[in-house]
Structure 1
Amino acid sequence: MTQVNHFIEIHGLKKTYQSGDTKVDAIKQMDFSIDDEEFITIMGQSGSGKSTLLSIMGALNHPTQGKVLVDSLDLYSLTTEQRADFRSEYIGFIFQSFQLIPYLTVLENVKLPMAVTGWTKKLKDRMAFEVIDRVGLGDRAHRLPDQLSGGEQERVAIARAIVNKPPIILADEPTGNLDSKTACDIMMLLQSLNKDGHTVIVVTHNPGVEAYADRTIRVRDGECYA
């Protein structure tokens, strides 16, 4: 029988945190796979382990046990420097709190992931303006984050996540702080990025987000049900 290699594979994943004499299993046992260009929601209540899972998949948080394979690459067999290179090449993060730099303009925030590329300023500007236009903020490129609405800040975070054209977009509760109309707009934007070839993985507790995805992985008490 031919073995099928999936784009992302999670095998025997476990994550335990130590707090004094107490051990907390944030992830007890998880096994699943995701194919290239899938749109996946990871659904679960607060404290279920889904954000921990996202950080491990993004090469930010070393698991206690198990393997994470991306494009056949074993992430946690890499050195710290190699994992940093992997994140730069493969991953676009969209954080729940946006994490925009308040004293930088939209353009400058979006250009941040390109700081280590060695590309020319002209190329960086062109690529940044392209994604700023793509997320519908072409007329706000020179504004500061506090001059934008919550939905517009989310769009800046998305533009920053995709400016290096990473194959994987990881989004942590991207609609958590938005009204329903703006949340719908953001999910449709992520859906269009998925159609352009990005693998999109969205962590959420909002059942309404499921409708935009190809498939949902449910997380409860540190375990998943794909």
Structure 2
Amino acid sequence: MTGVKHLIEVHGLKKTYQSGDSRVEAVRNMDFFIDDAEFVTLMGRSGSGKSTLLSILGALNHPTGGKVLVDSLDIYALTAEQRADFRSEYIGFIFQSFQLIPYLTVLENVKLPMAVTGRKKKVQDRMAEDVIERVGLTAKSLRLPDQLSGGEQERVAIARAIVNKPPLILADEPTGNLDSKTAGDIMGLLKSLNSDGHTVIVVTHNPDMEAYAGRTIRVRDGECFV
């Protein structure tokens, strides 16, 4: 990171979808930056463009125009294979719907991102057990997802996202399906990870979640307001 001013730089970002005869501008000429080890919320109503923006930041959704630099790397100048490698090494994703494999245990779900790393099984087990302990689920590591509460499933999703120790954590409405107390616990856990040095970006429509972030970028009608 030496000499790098910002971890993420977004320049003139655009994303347009064609819907029949009409064009939908999901992201309109955005410019902003996010520093290393920041905790940022992307705040906006449903349909504002915030989830589209997060998918672009996560190297999942090729923009129509503009650039996204992560650690000075132009991620959309990479090949698809290079972007896949970048995602696996650099980004941890947390989804609102958890995206857990129902027939795998907590431990097995958490180990999934390490399948392509070439690490030995003992190393994978130890790393997975460490992050499962971090999220407070050691006693439930051999349970299946449907044997867990919603908050516990979200904790598994967080453990899976951080098991490869990515610098960047992207969370899309991680508290959207949770009650207020559990949502606060999950945001507190993300805040703790941020304190450990992870850069955390959370998409949310809930103003209560802003209190956990150091900064909020508001998204409205495809535009951002920093």
2:181 corresponds to 1:181: yes
Higher mean alpha-carbon deviation, 18-27 vs 110-119, is at 18-27
Measure the CA separation in 2 of the matches of 1:48 and 1:172: 13
8 Å CA contact retained: 2:4, 2:71? no
| 1:28-48 superposed Cα distances (whole Å, 9 cap, x missing partner) | 121000000000000000000
Which secondary structure does the structure 1 equivalent of 2:129 belong to? helix
Measure the CA separation in 2 of the matches of 1:29 and 1:47: 17
Match of 1:156 in 2: 156
Q: How does 1:195-206 map to 2 (within 5 A)?
A: 195-206=195-206
Measure the CA separation in 2 of the matches of 1:213 and 1:72: 24
Match of 1:107 in 2: 107
- The one-letter amino acid of 1:174's match is P
Displacement of 1:19 after TM fit? 1.6
- The one-letter amino acid of 1:221's match is D
Measure the CA separation in 2 of the matches of 1:50 and 1:75: 19
Displacement of 1:184 after TM fit? 0.6
2:36 corresponds to 1:36: yes
2:28 corresponds to 1:51: no
Q: How does 1:124-135 map to 2 (within 5 A)?
A: 124-135=124-135
Q: How does 1:26-105 map to 2 (within 5 A)?
A: 26-105=26-105
| 1:198-226 superposed Cα distances (whole Å, 9 cap, x missing partner) | 00000000000000000000000000001
- The one-letter amino acid of 1:224's match is C
Measure the CA separation in 2 of the matches of 1:171 and 1:36: 16
What residue ranges of structure 1 are gaps of 5+ in the alignment?
A: none
Match of 1:193 in 2: 193
Displacement of 1:20 after TM fit? 2.0
Which secondary structure does the structure 1 equivalent of 2:190 belong to? helix
Measure the CA separation in 1 of the matches of 2:173 and 2:98: 10
- The one-letter amino acid of 2:74's match is D
Measure the CA separation in 2 of the matches of 1:5 and 1:216: 19
Measure the CA separation in 2 of the matches of 1:140 and 1:131: 13
Match of 2:142 in 1: 142
| 1:151-190 superposed Cα distances (whole Å, 9 cap, x missing partner) | 0000000000000000000000011000011001000000
When the two chains are superposed, the root-mean-square deviation of aligned CA atoms in Å is: 0.9
Match of 2:121 in 1: 121
Number of aligned pairs?
Answer: 224
TM-score, normalised relative to structure 1? 0.98
Displacement of 1:4 after TM fit? 6.8
